[in-house]
């Protein structure tokens, strides 16, 4: 988002979802603004990856642990569960493969925090209905032919994707156009109508191996263990 006040509110909500002293990776970290806030306020140990060489250099010059790279190609350098939290702020809609990106975030981190503009907001619906063309709003300020956004989706779309992908939504927060904060629940359809921006805390659903016990043997996965 271009509005600095909105971005600060977005960052404040992200910060509220992170435990102090955690190890955090900020994907698309820019010049390190969010990293600086997290380190100062809740003493996180932060790292970042940024596609822009200029912004990455600015972050590095400030002493941040940042590498220049493309998140859709270069996240394989990070090992499984190497961070407590992985942040993807206002970037998912610009990814070529958003589903694969979500799964990669949860491979690298124990939890993921994702924020995005909500294409289901009533002003967007109204512009489409009355004008019959792609809308331009404060949260989505670009014309269709110059926007960096590839996928436009709503809060409901995102919730459905998480359900299909066995991703647990631990908490959902929203910002309205006026800056009001709303907690998003699975059944709260009004959030999809009045929310400009959504922030979700995610984790991955782990399935326990099925164990079948008999009088003589117990089966765990593909192994047979005598009882």
E strands, the chain, in order = 23-27, 45-50, 66-68, 83-89, 109-117, 167-176, 181-184, 195-204, 211-213, 217-220, 223-226
Q: How far apart are CA 193 and CA 25, in angstroms?
A: 31
Phi, psi of 43 (to 5 degrees): 55, 45
pLDDT in tens, 100-148: 999 999 999 999 999 988 875 556 666 666 666 666 666 667 665 666 6
pLDDT in tens, 192-224: 656 778 899 999 876 554 555 545 444 344 444
Domain count, the chain: 1
Query: Which of the residue ranges 33-47, 105-119, 134-148, 152-166 has the most confident prediction, judged by mean pLDDT?
Result: 33-47
The stretch 53-76 carries a mean pLDDT of 95
124: containing domain? 4-226
Per-residue model confidence (pLDDT) at position 110: 95
Q: Is 106 helix (H, G, I), strand (E, B) or coil?
A: helix
**What is the CATH number for 216?**
3.40.50.150
């Amino acid at each position: 988002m271009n509005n600095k006040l909105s971005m600060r509110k977005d960052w404040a909500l992200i910060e509220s979802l992170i435990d102090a002293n955690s190890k955090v990776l900020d994907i698309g970290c820019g010049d390190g603004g969010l990293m600086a806030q997290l380190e100062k306020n809740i003493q996180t140990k932060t790292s970042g990856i940024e596609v822009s060489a200029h912004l990455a250099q600015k972050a590095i010059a400030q002493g941040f642990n940042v590498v220049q790279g493309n998140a859709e190609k270069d996240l394989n350098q990070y090992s499984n569960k190497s961070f407590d939290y992985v942040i993807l702020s206002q970037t998912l809609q610009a990814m070529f493969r958003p589903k694969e990106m979500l799964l990669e975030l949860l491979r690298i981190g124990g939890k993921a925090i994702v924020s995005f503009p909500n294409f289901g907001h009533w002003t967007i619906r109204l512009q489409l209905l009355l004008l019959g063309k792609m809308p331009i709003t404060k949260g989505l300020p670009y014309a269709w032919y110059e926007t960096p956004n590839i996928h436009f989706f709503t809060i409901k779309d995102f919730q459905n994707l998480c359900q299909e992908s066995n991703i647990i939504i631990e908490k959902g927060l929203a910002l309205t156009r006026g800056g009001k904060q709303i907690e998003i629940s699975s059944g709260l359809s009004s959030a999809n109508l009045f929310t400009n921006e959504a922030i979700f805390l995610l984790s991955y659903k782990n399935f326990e191996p099925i164990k079948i016990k008999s009088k003589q043997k117990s089966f765990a996965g593909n192994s047979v263990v005598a009882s």
